[in-house]
Structure 1
Amino acid sequence: MKRTVAFLLILTVLVAGVTGCGSTTKVTEQVINLGGIQPMTGGAATFGASGKNGATMAVEEFNTAGGATVDGVKTTINYINEDDAGSPEVGASAAQKLINQDKVIGIIGPLMSKVSLAVALIAQAAGVPMISHGSTATQVTLVGDYIFRACFIDSFQGTVMANYAWNTLKVKTAAVLYDNGNDYNKGLAEYFKAGFEKNGGKVVAFEAFTDEDKTVDYKAQLTKIKATNPEFLYLPNYYAAVALQLKQAREMGLNVPAGGGDGWDSPDLVKIGGAAVEGGVFSNHFSKDDLSPKVQAFVSAYTTKYRAAPDALAALAYDAAGLFLDAFKTAGSIKGSDIRDAMKNTSFSGVAGVYKFDENRDPIKAAVILQIKNGQQTYLTTIQP
């Protein structure tokens, strides 16, 4: 989509200078808009807050470092964050507002795959680059060539946990309980099942429910699962639902090891689930315990600024915004196609990994396995792609 100076918020400073002939020098600085779409309310609200924080921090650092130069003009960024409430419809409205009213040059987010699929159609049609920090459903980037992501995809994440359950936990049977109304949950469930069975394991129960934001009683599905005597319980859902599912499972005597995906990564998992989530393992994109100087500098700066340690979604949003802004600076242009092309060819080192995109604009990255131990996330191992 063509972007002109008319779309920009311009700050013009006139400086009068006297030379041998006498002249007036015109110095122009411009501020352009970058959009963000996060679930600031709803069942994934803690992720939305983290994502907003991470993206905001990256933008502030970019501006402090001098921004970019576009047609000889110093250019800095104004970040506008919109709430999608975990709803595709709300997310689509937010995208329309950001693109048509705010004239953003790109969108960071959304987080949830079901929302990203709705927003991606709008961004692609408008020629506005979008980079989701947390949407792991495989089909998100297949919408079009303006759509990127900063996270690994569900085919990798689901298989990682299937391999971990088989090779490390040495279990032979597993049960799955998932939300069939969300592409993220459903995708992880299917990839885990395929990977586990490929290893030689047996998925003895594959139970579904609809809409984890509204469902609070999982006893019917858990009763069916318990009757199959699984050795492992895979819950590819978000933290609030997982906490309730494990509390109800433990109450009925279903005390087998449990695991899941990056949707577990919230302090509210332990706050809600308490002792029921202890020992659970999950795949994730980032560990604050990574000792690399870059990660520790980020953790320190984030913790100082927000008075809480960053989770994976904070790190991914920080990287997504940083990667986008790096491509924008390289392109030296506000045209969506120029920024897109620079992003395709990027080689960006972030706090949640090194980013180089494949043909579908998905990064090839490692995953970490974390465990809830004594109420805290504990790093176990890193799994390479």
Structure 2
Amino acid sequence: MRIGLLLLLLFSFIVPHHVQAGQKVTIGLNLPLTGARQATGVSSKEGAELLREQINGAGGLKIGDSRYEVEFVYADNESNPQKAVAATLELITKHNVLGIVGPNASSNAIPAGNICESFKTPMISPTSTNPKTTEGRPFVFRACFLDPFQGDVMANFAIKEFKATKAAVLYDIASAYPKGLAEFFKTAFEAKQGPNSVVAFENFLSNEKDLTLHLDRIVASGADVLFLPQYAHEIPSIIEQAKARGWTKPILGGDAWESSDLMAKCGDQCKGLFFSSHFGAVGAKGKTLTFVEQYKAKYNQLPIGYAALGYDAASLMLTAIGKLDGLSPNLLETRAAIKERIAAIKGFEGVSGTLDMNASGDPAKSAVIIKINDKGEFESYKIENP
């Protein structure tokens, strides 16, 4: 409570009440551009930059009767919660942004969302799937599905695809994303296969590198599948250790597996595995295929989900701004109006799929099951609807 009061006092003194002069629309992007999850942040930045160049190349963003150049200001949060908060404050109070895209990881998006809510600044996370990111925060939105849905999707997939009657889960208890997704998977699996059908529910701490004891218990449990709701840079080591301890059965993951880090470090060990995602570049059609082709032409590589959701989150923010009659000279009023426009977006055709937004900030959206094929590509295998 004391922190909240301090934020409100700070807010009343340092937030300017007028939009900066000039024909620019300035959006902040709060992403991990260095650090352990750099690859995900760079991908989101590349997706957003592709959109910005397209809009500016077409004459700018139309708001009312005027057109505005779109400007992005980047803040590197290094995927650190404290730095994500500092980046949020800097974007709001120093750069006077109309809204913020990011952070990606839930452990960063949850505290950053608290700041955005206190400062009444709209925020759209491209990939934060933890429910706490948006709970009780009308100014905070996401461009992705939520972990309860993702956990249910992967539990269903384990049962239908592999006839699994028993499952094991290994997760980092100190990180919001894997902890939440692990719990949602367990709840969904046991709702279908009965109490205690998750026969091993093993947790570790972020700095724990040797997982031998956990994996030995998992191998001995008789589980049919292993669910690893960890980030991509952590997966290669875990899989290598799991196989060394005798695990030979299917391994499944969540959307945080999707990163160029995964195959660069995992190689053949990850081929044939499955994870849930928001987007599949291989086998794409329609607007998604167009995005894939444009992205590949610009960056000489296929986009991953973080790129598509970076594009879509920025597009949602700019779509909402484009629905304004004009930019009010009062910055607080403009931010509030943008928030209302985001919440009202329906039938948004993004490159990662169609979504309907709502006041809760949580869109209704499909999930894609990705198979890592023999070429090491992330191939769309199956689509699951809400």
After superposition, the Cα gap between the structure-2 partners of 1:83 and 1:285, relative to the gap in structure 1 and judged at 3 Å, is same
Matches within 5 A, 1:1-385: 7-8=19-20, 10=22, 30-69=23-62, 73-200=66-193, 202-211=197-206, 214-331=207-324, 332-333=326-327, 335-347=334-346, 348-374=348-374, 375-385=376-386
For 1:152-184, what per-residue CA distance to the aligned partner results, in whole angstroms no more than 9, with x for missing partners?
000000110000101221011111000111111
State the Cα RMSD in Å.
1.7
Unpaired stretches in structure 2, ≥5 consecutive residues: 1-10, 329-333
Aligned residues: 363
Query: Offset of 1:122 from its aligned partner?
Result: 0.9
Q: Which amino acid aligns with 1:333?
A: L
Q: Please say if residues 154 and 187 of structure 1, whose CA atoms lie closer than 8 Å, have aligned partners that are also in contact.
A: yes
Q: Which amino acid aligns with 2:327?
A: S
If each structure's strand is expressed as a fraction of its own residues, which one has the higher value? 1
Partner of 2:131, secondary structure, is coil
TM-score relative to the length of structure 1: 0.90
Q: Distance in 1 between matches of 2:266 and 2:86?
A: 34
Partner of 2:327, secondary structure, is coil
Q: Distance in 2 between matches of 1:65 and 1:326?
A: 15
Q: Please say if residues 281 and 379 of structure 2, whose CA atoms lie closer than 8 Å, have aligned partners that are also in contact.
A: no
Mean CA deviation greater in 360-369 or 68-77:
68-77
Query: Offset of 1:132 from its aligned partner?
Result: 0.3
Partner of 2:295, secondary structure, is helix
Q: Please say if residues 134 and 141 of structure 2, whose CA atoms lie closer than 8 Å, have aligned partners that are also in contact.
A: yes
Query: Offset of 1:274 from its aligned partner?
Result: 2.2
Q: Please say if residues 63 and 321 of structure 2, whose CA atoms lie closer than 8 Å, have aligned partners that are also in contact.
A: no
Q: Which amino acid aligns with 2:101?
A: I
Q: Which amino acid aligns with 1:379?
A: S
Query: Offset of 1:228 from its aligned partner?
Result: 1.0
Percent identical residues: 36
Q: Please say if residues 55 and 108 of structure 1, whose CA atoms lie closer than 8 Å, have aligned partners that are also in contact.
A: no
Query: Using CA pairs below 8 Å that are at least 6 residues apart, which structure has the higher relative contact order?
Result: 2
Unpaired stretches in structure 1, ≥5 consecutive residues: 11-29
